[in-house]
Structure 1
Amino acid sequence: MSEIPLEEAEPAKKAYGDLTEGEREVVREALTVIAREPAAGREIPGWRPPSVEYTYTTPLAHDSAEAITVVYTHTPGMGVTVVYYFRDPQVVDP
């Protein structure tokens, strides 16, 4: 199985540098999923074809109320470009 080529835009590289090591580990795991299946994220409507923009959000820990969101675009035949990473407060269901 071949993985989709993945690159980071400058804003993503800067944002990655601002994350803690634990947050970076979560990002690396998310990127592994995205490289295998770009449609794993939630599509952001209104993007111009053939590119599709997605967000992929993953909790920092199983019991965490915070998450990391990866914003990226996928262009079939070209690969994935990570646009940005950010900490994302989320509501955890009781």
Structure 2
Amino acid sequence: MNEVPLEEAEPARKAFGDLTEGEREALGVIARDPSAGREIPGWRPPSVEYTYTTPLARDSAEAITVVYTHTPGMGVTVVYYFRDPQIVD
């Protein structure tokens, strides 16, 4: 079995560990269903650009919005994400 050396695996684990509850939730939803977000009009195939917004935490009035593209056969690319002070409906 080919194992990743600890010094290479640790930074990735820490980066994921530093994500907020909302960031983890958003990225998990997008990974399971790339069309979960709202499609942004005008984006041309083969990629489709989406936004997905979710609360940063269950009790938070602040949201996280992820902007990403989905290319069939190539997967999802997160373009950027940002915090939004608005409450998500």
Tell me whether the two structures share a fold, i.e. TM-score over 0.5. Answer: yes
Q: Any idea what SS the aligned residue of 2:46 has?
A: coil
Identity %: 85
- Alignment RMSD: 1.9
- TM-superposed CA distance for 1:43, in Å, is 0.7
- Matching residue within 54, 77, 81 for 2:77: 81
Q: Which residue of 2 aligns with 1:53?
A: 49
Aligned length: 73
Specify every segment of 5 or more residues in structure 2 that has no aligned partner in the other structure, as ranges.
1-14
TM-score (normalizing by structure 1): 0.68
Specify every segment of 5 or more residues in structure 1 that has no aligned partner in the other structure, as ranges.
1-16
Structure ID, larger Rg: 2
What amino acid does structure 2 have at the position aligned with 1:26? G
Relative contact order, higher structure (CA 8 A, sep 6+): 1
TM-score (normalizing by structure 2): 0.71
- TM-superposed CA distance for 1:87, in Å, is 0.4
